[in-house]
Homo-oligomer: A and B are copies of this chain.
Amino acid sequence: MAAALELFSTRDAEDVSIDDVASAAGASRALVYHYFGGKQELYVAALRSAAEQLESRLRPHEGGRPLDELASGLKRYFDFVEEHAAGFAALLRGGPANRAGEVGEIVDGVRRRLFRLIQKQMRVEEPSPVLRTTLRSWIASVETAGLDWLEHRDVERPTLEKMLVDHMVALLGVAARYDGDVAGLLERLA
């Protein structure tokens, strides 16, 4: 599994063969087929393992101020993006050809759990529609900033991470103009 994850992280899935995985793992092709059934299944298993890894890394260190926790979470998110560069880029570029597939489910699952994590960090019980849209938009913009960074690497990572925290504050500032609850949240965060 570790070998497969490493390969899918550093190359496009299309350029990874069962033979590559078998040889990297020091196992036979037959054994890899036996355990996983095929390349698509192997990819899905690797993706699931990557998703779990990301989520366990993002589990908050307790007790910090929410915006500090956000900054430290973003740093760990970008560490992950950098380590799994090719796989991350391949996964998130374009649109899902097969959204009913397991791949789409895994990606959506990660997004939902990131949402709940941020919601928890901000001590929000039940996000209002405006706050929900705002947080989902921010998560999407972080994903895209990650993709853009992998493609260009012409902004320093610490700068980008800081800018994304500032984005969150700015977006909550907009949301506060539409929703009094968000205004209260923003005061608590400041």
Name A residues whose Cβ lies closer than 8 Å to a Cβ of B: 12, 14, 90-101, 103-108, 129-130, 132-133, 136-145, 148-149, 152, 154-155, 159-160, 163, 166-167, 170-171, 173-175, 177-178
Copies in the assembly, this chain = 2
- Contact for A91 among B99, B108, B163, B173, CB less than 8 A: B99
Q: How far does the alpha carbon of A13 sit from the alpha carbon of B142 in the complex, in Å?
A: 29
Q: How far is the CB of A162 from chain B (nearest CB, A)?
A: 8
B133 lies within 8 A of A148 (CB): yes
Q: How far does the alpha carbon of A174 sit from the alpha carbon of B130 in the complex, in Å?
A: 21
B104 lies within 8 A of A97 (CB): yes
Q: How far does the alpha carbon of A75 sit from the alpha carbon of B144 in the complex, in Å?
A: 23
A94: chain B residues at CB < 8 Å are: 96, 99, 101, 103-105, 107-108
Q: How far does the alpha carbon of A111 sit from the alpha carbon of B104 in the complex, in Å?
A: 20
Q: How far does the alpha carbon of A56 sit from the alpha carbon of B94 in the complex, in Å?
A: 21
Q: How far does the alpha carbon of A126 sit from the alpha carbon of B32 in the complex, in Å?
A: 49
Known: A95-B107, A97-B97. 14 other contacts (CB 8 A): A92-B96, A93-B99, A93-B104, A93-B108, A95-B96, A96-B97, A97-B101, A129-B155, A133-B163, A136-B144, A137-B167, A138-B141, A159-B178, A166-B174
